[in-house]
Amino acid sequence: MATTLRSVTRLMRRKNLLPMYRTGSMLHSHATSFGYKEVREEEKSQMVGNVFTRVASNYDLMNDLMSGGLHRLWKDRLVSELNPFPGMKHLDVAGGTGDVAFRILERINSVSRRAMRDAFEENLLEETKIYVCDINPNMLNVGQKRAAERGFAEEKSLVWVEGDAEALNFDDNSMDGYTIAFGIRNVTHIEKALAEAYRVLKRGGRFLCLELSHVDTPIVKDLYDLYSFSVIPAVGELVVGDRESYQYLVESIRRFPRQEKFAEMIADAGFQKVEYESLVGGVVAIHSGLKF
């Protein structure tokens, strides 16, 4: 058992290293990564788009299967970090299926129920706007369908917008909060997406990012690698009949900047009080920043 584990990880490490050397040489051809593959920048967004078009219908089922239901807790954690309030203007990028948006809305409603006697708050509740922005219309469709199932069909606070995280169609200083859950990894230029987040936020607005990240604890890391490279693509093939998309998923996680590097990128975009929190030993991380 131990030897197989070791050989698998050794194999993976070798796999890991090869594309890294390649990146350096392709630096000037505007190459970017699609999983471990090197693709031209223009192609990446299209390829990512294809992945999500393929997985959209089974997205939630697969999330549950892959994370053992933990992604629900992670999203809860994200929203409690955000601390939504009535009258909030919030932008949830890459939130096509509405998972985060529904949680924010529910939390605002429950907060305001507590302070119901205050008429002031009551008016504010109507001003609440949660924009769900996703580049992929298929994901938005799934989200809208789910909103209807949850009884949010008539909800005026939810606004579904098709848009690119790198070029948001919102005014400067217009948002109180910005969240991106499991999305920024798929963006071609992370810096551009961060700059856009900074642009649309008001002073005092907060940026929160939930993303699959890097595990460092030795044995856990090996198990996690084994799980993600052997189990996840297999499950993807079994359930959705699509191995490629899930192979991309696990590879793109490995290509995403490490926690501290990503925190630096957030700080570079201009955010202050940049913090991050690793959950489950680093399988996911919540990064946050404050705009001023």
Partner 1 sequence: MYRSAAKRLMPMFHRQVKIPPHNHIQSLSIFNSQSRFSTSSTSESFPNQNPDGHFDSSSSSTSTKAFNDEKKTSGHDHEAQNTRTARPGRAQYEEEQERVLRASLNHVIRFGWTEAAMIAGAREVGVSPSIVGSFSRKEAALVEFFMDECLQRLIDIIDSGVDLKDLIPSARIAKLVRIRLEMQAPYISKWPQALSIQAQPANITTSFKQRAMLIDEIWHAAGDDSTDVDWYAKRTILGGIYSATELYMLTDASPDYRDTWTFLDRRIRDAFDLKKSVQEAKYLAEAVGAGMGGSVQGLLKKVFPG
For partner 1, the binding residues (CB under 8 A) are 20, 23-24, 27, 30, 32-33, 81-83, 85, 87-88, 115, 118, 121, 176-177, 189-191, 201-206, 216-217, 219-220, 257-261, 263-265, 267-268, 270, 272-282, 288, 290, 292
- Cβ-in-10-Å burial (0-12, 13-18, 19+) of 205 comes to buried
User: Of the two residues 24 and 241, which places its CB atom closer to partner 1 in the complex?
Assistant: 24
Residue 87 identity: G
User: Of the two residues 190 and 240, which places its CB atom closer to partner 1 in the complex?
Assistant: 190
User: Of the two residues 9 and 32, which places its CB atom closer to partner 1 in the complex?
Assistant: 32
**What distance in Å separates the CA atoms of residue 163 and residue 103, rounded to the nearest whole number?**
21
User: Of the two residues 65 and 290, which places its CB atom closer to partner 1 in the complex?
Assistant: 290
Distance in Å, CB of 41 to partner 1, minimum: 10
Which of helix, strand or coil describes residue 136? Answer: coil
Asked whether the CA dihedral 244, 247, 249, 253 is positive or negative, the reply is negative
How would you classify residue 32: left for phi > 0, otherwise alpha for psi between -120 and 50, otherwise beta? beta
Distance in Å, CB of 64 to partner 1, minimum: 19
- Cβ-in-10-Å burial (0-12, 13-18, 19+) of 273 comes to exposed
User: Of the two residues 97 and 179, which places its CB atom closer to partner 1 in the complex?
Assistant: 179
Distance in Å, CB of 141 to partner 1, minimum: 29
Distance in Å, CB of 62 to partner 1, minimum: 22
Distance in Å, CB of 264 to partner 1, minimum: 5
Task: Give the distance from CA 270 to its chain's centroid.
Answer: 20
